[in-house]
Structure 1
Amino acid sequence: MEPTELISDDAASSNDALNRKVALTVALLASFMGVCKIKDDNINQAMQQAQADKIDHWGFYQARNQRQENAHIALLQLRLAAPARPAAEQAGYQKAIEELEKLEADQAKKKQDVQKQARDDQANYDALNYRDDQFDLSDAALALSLSMLAITTLTRQRWLYRAALVPTAFGVFYGAAGLFGLPFHPTWLTNLLS
């Protein structure tokens, strides 16, 4: 055997080993990204529901507020009109005033309940968005990693494979944080990208 043949065989074997590493890494990342995508889609659906619930509750709040205002206006009108009415009508006015006072108080209480629900919906949305941001960061980092791995296959540069492991680690970390609900969130980065 010629020495150049040995070098060629070693280089081919080395390139095959690199290609196997890249292929295995890509397959694992694609599988991981698929699992993260399913969870992220479920979180997005929950975010949409929380947003719809919040809008509905604020709509109910406005309706309760309008009912309370209408009751208050009618109550004021009755209170102003009652003293000028004959004594025989005073009992009817007093009964109407009492009913409107109850209605106004009832609408105020219901308005507070709906307001609390709307604020809870917003808190739920914010918590889900926190996890959605984790998946978004994971997707971006893993997409960068896959691009670097593709270039590694073309150029056969081992250093590029090792460099691709940096965004891989970042992407897997934030994907796992999103999957398991871990409290890791680079707020500065998400604010920068928002």
Structure 2
Amino acid sequence: MSGDGFHVHGPHDHAVEHAAHGGDSFSNNIAVMTAILATVGALFGYLGGATQNEAAMFKNNAAIDKTEAANAWNYYQAKSNKQNLAELAMVLPGVDPTKYKADMARYETEKGTIKKKAEKFEAASDEWNHRSDAAMHAHHQWALATTAEQIAISLAAITLLTRKKWMMAGAYGVAAVGLVLGAFAWLHIDPLGALLGAASVAH
């Protein structure tokens, strides 16, 4: 604790502090690696949060368009009911069928316009849902990439304490996996989906 308040340190903070006092190349390498991984992890975390917010916004837009589509279909049904009543009235005795025939034609035209509007809103809702699913998938990829970088930072901290070079190699390996996952998220690539698709083609 300092005069300014409490300071909470993560494993990478401790690693950098130890490395700064170590004065040897091994410790310096760990310090540089940890600082880079912390920066990359923070960037991945930000992008993951941004895609999650996008997914929520897209899902909200999908719900709005779905409601508009439902309202349009209800209006369409109301016009259909009026058209049916006009058709029924045409066969009643003592009425002018010409008048109701014109009403039927008008309702049919109005129904066509309403149907197109409803279908437009439904298509827009489906598109928003698709974009939401894609954004959420990207969020999960960013989350995995961030987790990998955090694990690599923890391994780097342990490496500094144990001074085991093979563990440092493990930290580099996990960090590389995180970078690959981040690249997949950035490029909107689904490696699992691609593998499953290739397997289905092969069979």
User: Shorter-chain TM-score: what band?
Assistant: 0.7 to 0.9
Amino acid at match of 1:24: V
Mapped contact 1:18–1:158 kept (Cα < 8 A)? no
Q: Tell me by how many angstroms 1:135 deviates.
A: 0.7
Q: What is the TM-score of this pair, normalised by structure 2?
A: 0.76
Distance 1:65 1:85 in 2: 33
Q: Tell me by how many angstroms 1:59 deviates.
A: 0.8
* 1:186 aligned partner: 192
Range moving further from structure 2, 126-135 or 96-105: 126-135
Distance 1:147 1:187 in 2: 30
Amino acid at match of 2:192: P
Alpha-carbon RMSD = 2.2
The 3-state SS of whatever aligns with 1:186 is helix
Mapped contact 1:134–1:185 kept (Cα < 8 A)? no
* 1:97 aligned partner: 104
Amino acid at match of 1:155: T
Distance 2:161 2:191 in 1: 34
Unaligned stretches of 5+ residues in structure 1 = 1-13, 189-194
Distance 2:131 2:55 in 1: 8
* 2:39 aligned partner: 31
The 3-state SS of whatever aligns with 1:84 is coil
* 1:50 aligned partner: 58
Q: Tell me by how many angstroms 1:15 deviates.
A: 8.3
Mapped contact 2:65–2:124 kept (Cα < 8 A)? yes
CA deviation profile, 1:24-74 (whole Å, cap 9, x unmatched): 111001111222233223222221221111111111111111111111122
The 3-state SS of whatever aligns with 2:24 is helix
The 3-state SS of whatever aligns with 1:61 is helix
Mapped contact 1:174–1:184 kept (Cα < 8 A)? no
Q: Which has the larger share of helix?
A: 1
Amino acid at match of 1:186: L
* 1:8 aligned partner: none
Relative to structure 1, the CA distance from residue 109 to residue 85 in structure 2 (aligned partners, 3 Å threshold; closer, same or farther) is farther
Amino acid at match of 1:39: L
Mapped contact 1:131–1:178 kept (Cα < 8 A)? yes
- Give the alignment of 1:34-183 within 5 angstroms: 34-87=42-95, 89-179=96-186, 181-183=187-189
Relative to structure 1, the CA distance from residue 182 to residue 118 in structure 2 (aligned partners, 3 Å threshold; closer, same or farther) is closer
Distance 1:77 1:174 in 2: 62
Distance 1:94 1:74 in 2: 12
Distance 2:55 2:106 in 1: 41
The structure with the larger Rg is: 1
Q: What is the TM-score of this pair, normalised by structure 1?
A: 0.79
Distance 1:85 1:41 in 2: 69
Distance 1:178 1:25 in 2: 22
Amino acid at match of 1:128: A
Relative to structure 1, the CA distance from residue 158 to residue 152 in structure 2 (aligned partners, 3 Å threshold; closer, same or farther) is same
Unaligned stretches of 5+ residues in structure 2 = 1-21, 195-203
